Structure 1
Amino acid sequence: MKPSFISVVLASVVSISNAASIDHNKVQPIPQPEAVTNSEKAAVKFKPQLYIETGCASYPAVNAGGETSGGLKGTNGDDACKVSLLASQVYGRATWYQGVWAIMYAWYFPKRFWNMNPSNRHDWANFVVWIDNPAVDNPKILGVSFSKSEKKYDTQTQIYEDAFVGYRVLGTRSNRSYQYGSNSSMRVQHSIWATFGPAFLEFSLYTDGDYQDLIMWEQMTDEVRAALVDSNFDDFEVPFNEDNFNAHLEKAWPF
């Protein structure tokens, strides 16, 4: 009996879908390109460090060929995702929004958590830095926004020294000194609510994190951008793709 046309088409779709998704620990990060434009240079200047307090390490979501991460089942705590042996990636996109320059930095996690327990495949977290102008010699940070869930943000317009990479408190209470670090690169930590809620971002006030290679939206190939639009990551929104970027900036607006 010959297969029907519909069954052949469905089999082809399944085959293509499977081919486009690979194991989470086999996704190679995309090397950080040289920054050329003012937008790219500002994105590198303000690139934050990420510190993992709880949950999985961040991983690349897509490789240079457009193959995306298959993620991990929402079981067994942070097993199989404590460290990305191939290194990780931070994704960026920037634009003017209501007269302020917004730079979004986004990280992918292969496992989603709720109340300290793994709950599903795939998670994204993002951090928005709002500056006055990427084209001036010394852009000024006007505010920041932290993703607290898929579509909710906390915001802050007063940024203190302890939010920046390299800041240290030295000595004892009676003989204390301070070591100052960067004035542009902040450090954020990925945490999970112990009692209720999803993973979220906040400032890491005491511990530096790690940098990942940054790839901006306009630096990606068509294949990579298409993969980040077409892959649904179990219906978890990619915050910086064509479908979601402006809506997330609206939710992250701190002013």
Structure 2
Amino acid sequence: MHFMHFLSLALAGAMASPAPTDAVHANLHKRAQERNHDSIQPIASNWAQDAVGRALKQYQPSLLSVEGCWAFPAVDQEGNWSGGLKPSGGKTGGCSRSTGQTYARGAWHREKFGMMYCWYFPKDQTDSPIPRGHRHDWECAIVWISNPDRPQLQGISTSAHGGWKRWDKVNPWNVRGNAFKVKYFQDIKVLGTHSLDITGDDGGGFAPLIQYELLPAAARNSLNTVNWESATFMMKDPLFRKNLEAAYPFAKNGPCKQC
């Protein structure tokens, strides 16, 4: 057989390989287990060595936790996931220190390139005498740039109670180097729970960044399939594009063809 013809057949066979089935996902999930929130180890930082990966790393926001849990890893290399914390004791009880993990994913959306960064918190708890809130919390920020190849900051969106706050410009007081500064805070005193917002305060940190596409299969499967109860992993496949559209802070010219 001619070598090039053989190579073409081999490549075609490789490209035709089926995507992971529901059974594969079920097996991955079966092998992984729920673990104590403070036993989940972060996945080593990893991002693609291309324009998108470099932009994701270059523009990673700094995160400052104010009056709430620090960000923790949600899953580990093997797909084991955090059991979170039941609201009890103080707002930072059992969750005041962690290396954390930043989950990152980028895509073109309308005329901008959106880079979503998500953080996991073991609980979201109020100040009230009887602790209120819920186990697990996910919050995300979307940094908008002009183009991964020639990036310029354009704006930012931050998550809040299932919705988004949006800024269509860059405020110098809110940026340190290339990084927006965001805070995790209790937005209504005493009875309120937590959300993200921009901040001018320093003191935020950078948790190990892992690009969504480079997550180990077991870890990505758990992120997408675990029931996070009152919280939602906004980066997962069925929701990622919808959240880019919902968070888009610029003028929308016509219907979204990508949503």
The code of the aligned residue for 1:113 comes to Q
1:187 is aligned to 2:146: no
8 Å CA contact 2:135, 2:230 repeated in 1: no
8 Å CA contact 2:182, 2:196 repeated in 1: yes
Judged with a 3 Å threshold, the aligned counterparts in structure 2 of structure 1 residues 19 and 215 are, in CA distance, closer, same or farther, namely closer
Name the structure 2 match of 1:155.
166
Q: Distance in 1 between matches of 2:78 and 2:168?
A: 39
Shift of the alpha carbon at 1:204?
Answer: 2.2
Q: Distance in 1 between matches of 2:126 and 2:30?
A: 28
8 Å CA contact 2:62, 2:206 repeated in 1: yes
Name the structure 1 match of 2:68.
55
Name the structure 1 match of 2:6.
none
8 Å CA contact 2:66, 2:183 repeated in 1: yes
Shift of the alpha carbon at 1:104?
Answer: 0.4
Kindly provide the CA deviation profile for residues 65-99 of structure 1, in whole angstroms up to 9, marking residues without a partner as x.
11110000111122111112xx1101011111112
Residue 69 (structure 1) aligned to one of 82, 97, 121: 82
Shift of the alpha carbon at 1:118?
Answer: 4.3
Kindly provide the CA deviation profile for residues 15-56 of structure 1, in whole angstroms up to 9, marking residues without a partner as x.
x76952100000000111254021110000100111111111
8 Å CA contact 1:76, 1:118 repeated in 2: no
1:201 is aligned to 2:196: yes
Shift of the alpha carbon at 1:206?
Answer: 2.4
Shift of the alpha carbon at 1:113?
Answer: 2.5
Kindly provide the CA deviation profile for residues 108-158 of structure 1, in whole angstroms up to 9, marking residues without a partner as x.
00002246644221001110001110012xx11111001111x21111122
Q: Which runs of 4+ in 1 moved over 4 A?
A: 16-19, 114-118
Name stretches of at least 5 consecutive residues in structure 2 with no aligned partner. 1-25, 251-259
The code of the aligned residue for 1:108 comes to Y
8 Å CA contact 2:175, 2:181 repeated in 1: yes
Q: Distance in 2 between matches of 1:64 and 1:37?
A: 23
The code of the aligned residue for 1:190 comes to Y
TM-score, length basis structure 2: 0.79
Q: Distance in 1 between matches of 2:159 and 2:230?
A: 17
Q: Distance in 1 between matches of 2:191 and 2:101?
A: 28
Residue 100 (structure 1) aligned to one of 104, 112, 119: 112
TM-score, length basis structure 1: 0.81
Q: How many residues align?
A: 219
Which region of structure 1 is more displaced relative to structure 2, 219-228 or 31-40? Answer: 31-40
Judged with a 3 Å threshold, the aligned counterparts in structure 2 of structure 1 residues 202 and 103 are, in CA distance, closer, same or farther, namely same
8 Å CA contact 2:62, 2:182 repeated in 1: yes
Residue identity over aligned pairs, in percent, reads 29
Q: Distance in 2 between matches of 1:102 and 1:61?
A: 23
The code of the aligned residue for 1:187 comes to K
Name the structure 2 match of 1:249.
244
8 Å CA contact 1:229, 1:243 repeated in 2: no
Counting only pairs closer than 5 Å after superposition, residues 8-157 of structure 1 correspond to structure 2 as: 20-33=33-46, 35-77=48-90, 78-84=92-98, 87-114=99-126, 117-136=131-150, 139-149=151-161, 151-157=162-168
Name stretches of at least 5 consecutive residues in structure 1 with no aligned partner. 1-12, 166-181
Which region of structure 1 is more displaced relative to structure 2, 115-124 or 201-210? Answer: 115-124
